[in-house]
Amino acid sequence: MVELQKQEYIIEARGLVKKFGFKTALRKVDLFLKKGDCLALFGPNGAGKTTLIQTLCSLMRPTSGEVVIAGFDTRYDREALHKIIGVIAHDTFLYNNLTASENLNFYGRMYHVTRLNEKIKELINLVGLNAYINDQVQTFSRGMQQRLSVARAIIHDPAILFLDEPYTGLDQQGIEDLKQLLMKFRNQGKTIILTSHNLSRGLELCNQAAILNAGVLIYQEDIANIKKDDFKQLYLKLTGEKTWPVQAPLRASSKNSRRSCGKISYPN
Amino acid sequence: MCLFSFLVLIIFSFAFGTGLKSFKGIIPGILWVAFIFSGLLGLSRSFGVERDKGTLPGLLLCPVSPWEIFLAKMIGTLIFTVIMEIFTLLVFTILYNQNFLPFLLPLGLVIFLGTLGFSIIGTIFSAMSSTTRTRDVMLSILVFPISVPVIIAAVKATGLILDGTSIQTVFSWLKILVAFDFVFLLLAYLTFGFIMEE
């Protein structure tokens, strides 16, 4: 059975637990994805999305449980694993004192990319930074850095992409460009895990959706089986996340609040 | 680093002068204080770029082992520290009117082995302290006590070489330096992966 799963799934995470001191960030998370799957991972702030991504891509060692990606155990086969994954995270992983081209050159050499100069030009063109190829990254806006970060993550043409809030800092054109790029990757059969707070954007791109709340994977479903209009309500119901319209009037009516043991409670 | 070592030598030259009777006895101490204090400045920059710009995960995601990252960082530190030490020796020669040329080979060997040990320890602890808030203070607190054996062995060996003692006498101190370097290199090989993860 296990052997069958190993052949069937490209990403297998079993019983993942991650603790930071007394705080448990992931609680027995099981996640299985087939080749070409695109999973949108949703969850409120502090749900453990970034921890899960970092554990899956071997940046963090799980407290217990195991992650096997394309047959490589993240604990023992990290170098082989890193050749086939690309990661875009909150941090861009770019060296500010190097130019866009130098950054890509550095990472390209680390990944032993062949025909690197051509690849750099191609990627810079793809992310729309042609005019800034020789500018230092510290002169870039957040959105431009994020674009370059996308180029960095795909310089070695990875088969699996981990995208932790990839739209952070991008302008509307950047979001649209990245969306098109991710669509292209999905059509190429790349496996993608994407975390986002934007439900519609995630649902639009992916073929699976999952919700992580307080370190527990409480929902995973094929998007074909999801009614997109109802998903927001389902998400709010499952995570217990309050929407702004509920909280805003309560905050405004703080004169009705009373303080008890250092906590502020609001009347219903 | 070079500027700092130059300042250390200037301060020592004012503090002791060169007319001191037992000046020859304190030369190794002055040299190694300048080497270690200036070297520490370089160590704090070892993971500085990754720490300040948050690029360490990017480096760890490359298909290289943590051991290779350690070696690259350690060799980088070693090269810059050796350059600083050559500069320090030149300044020392001018300021204190000392001629190191007759002892250049054995002295070079001792300085290399001592600096290698210091760079190994420093790179390990620089990586460990890079995520702490008080990293610069932390680095000094961690590195100095652990470096005591290498500093003692290097100072003693340097003193014996400058005294013109035979290489056999210096050999026991050299063995300590080699053993120290080997043990900490092995320790780095076994633990650096875990240090990088956390």
* Average of per-residue pLDDT across A142-155: 91
Q: What pLDDT does residue A266 have?
A: 42
Interface check B72 vs A, CB under 8 A: no
Among A97-111, A144-158, B130-144, the range scoring the smallest mean pLDDT is B130-144
Taking only the tens place, the pLDDT of each residue in A102-125 is 999 999 999 999 999 999 999 999
Contact B49 A60 (CB under 8 A): no
Q: What pLDDT does residue A4 have?
A: 36
**Residue pairs spanning A and B at CB distance below 8 A:** 52
Q: Distance between CA A53 and CA A59 in Å, rounded?
A: 9
Segments making up each domain of chain A, as ranges: 2-226
Contact B62 A152 (CB under 8 A): no
* Average of per-residue pLDDT across B176-193: 91
All residues of chain B having their beta carbon less than 8 Å from the beta carbon of residue A59 are 57, 60-61, 197
CATH of domain A2-226: 3.40.50.300
Which token pair is A120?
């750099």
* Average of per-residue pLDDT across B131-145: 79
Phi, psi torsion values for A230, nearest 5 degrees: -90, -10
Q: What pLDDT does residue B43 have?
A: 82
A→B contacts (Cβ < 8 Å), by residue, are 54, 57-61, 78-80, 82-83, 85, 87, 89, 91-97, 107, 110-112, 152
Is the pLDDT assigned to residue A256 strictly greater than 60? no
Interface check B141 vs A, CB under 8 A: no
**HEC string for chain A:** CHHHHHHHCCEEEEEEEEEECCEEEEEEEEEEECCCCEEEEECCCCCCHHHHHHHHCCCCCCCEEEEEECCEECCCCHHHHHHHEEEECCCCCCCCCCEHHHHHHHHHHHCCCCCHHHHHHHHHHHCCCHHHCCCEHHHCCHHHHHHHHHHHHCCCCCCEEEEECCCCCCCHHHHHHHHHHHHHHHHCCCEEEEECCCHHHHHHHCCEEEEEECCEEEEEEEHHHCCHHHHHHHHHHHHCCCCHHHHHHHHHCHHHCEEECCEEECCC
Nearest to B57 among A83, A91, A107 (CB): A91
All residues of chain A having their beta carbon less than 8 Å from the beta carbon of residue B60 are 59
Interface check B55 vs A, CB under 8 A: yes
Q: What pLDDT does residue B111 have?
A: 92
Please name which of A109, A140, A125, A9 lies closest in space to residue A69, comparing C-alpha atoms: A9
Percent of chain A at pLDDT exceeding 70? 87
Nearest to B57 among A80, A93, A95 (CB): A93
Is the pLDDT assigned to residue A2 strictly greater than 80? no
Nearest to B55 among A61, A93, A112 (CB): A93
Taking only the tens place, the pLDDT of each residue in A191-241 is 999 998 888 888 888 888 998 888 888 888 888 887 777 777 777 777 776
Which token pair is A4?
């069958």
Residues near A190 by beta carbon (within 8 Å), at least 6 away in sequence = A36, A158, A159, A160, A161
Percent of chain A at pLDDT exceeding 90? 40
* Average of per-residue pLDDT across A94-108: 94
Q: Distance between CA A148 and CA A93 in Å, rounded?
A: 10
Interface test with B, best of A93, A95, A102, A168 (most B CBs within 10 A): A93
Interface check B53 vs A, CB under 8 A: yes
All residues of chain B having their beta carbon less than 8 Å from the beta carbon of residue A91 are 54-55, 57-58
Q: What pLDDT does residue A264 have?
A: 40
Taking only the tens place, the pLDDT of each residue in A78-89 is 889 999 999 998
ipTM of this model? 0.79
**How close, in Å, is residue A102 to chain B by CA atoms?**
14
Interface test with B, best of A19, A57, A59 (most B CBs within 10 A): A59
Nearest CA in chain A to B56: A93
Nearest to A79 among B54, B59, B65 (CB): B65
Which token pair is A58?
């071997």
Nearest CA in chain B to A96: B53
Give residue A261's pLDDT band: very low, low, confident or very high (50, 70, 90): very low
Nearest CA in chain A to B196: A59
All residues of chain B having their beta carbon less than 8 Å from the beta carbon of residue A112 are 63
Angle, CA A170 vertex, CA A167 and CA A176 arms, to 5°: 75
Integer angstrom CA distances of residue B91 from A137, A173, B97, B140:
38, 58, 9, 25
Nearest CA in chain A to B63: A79
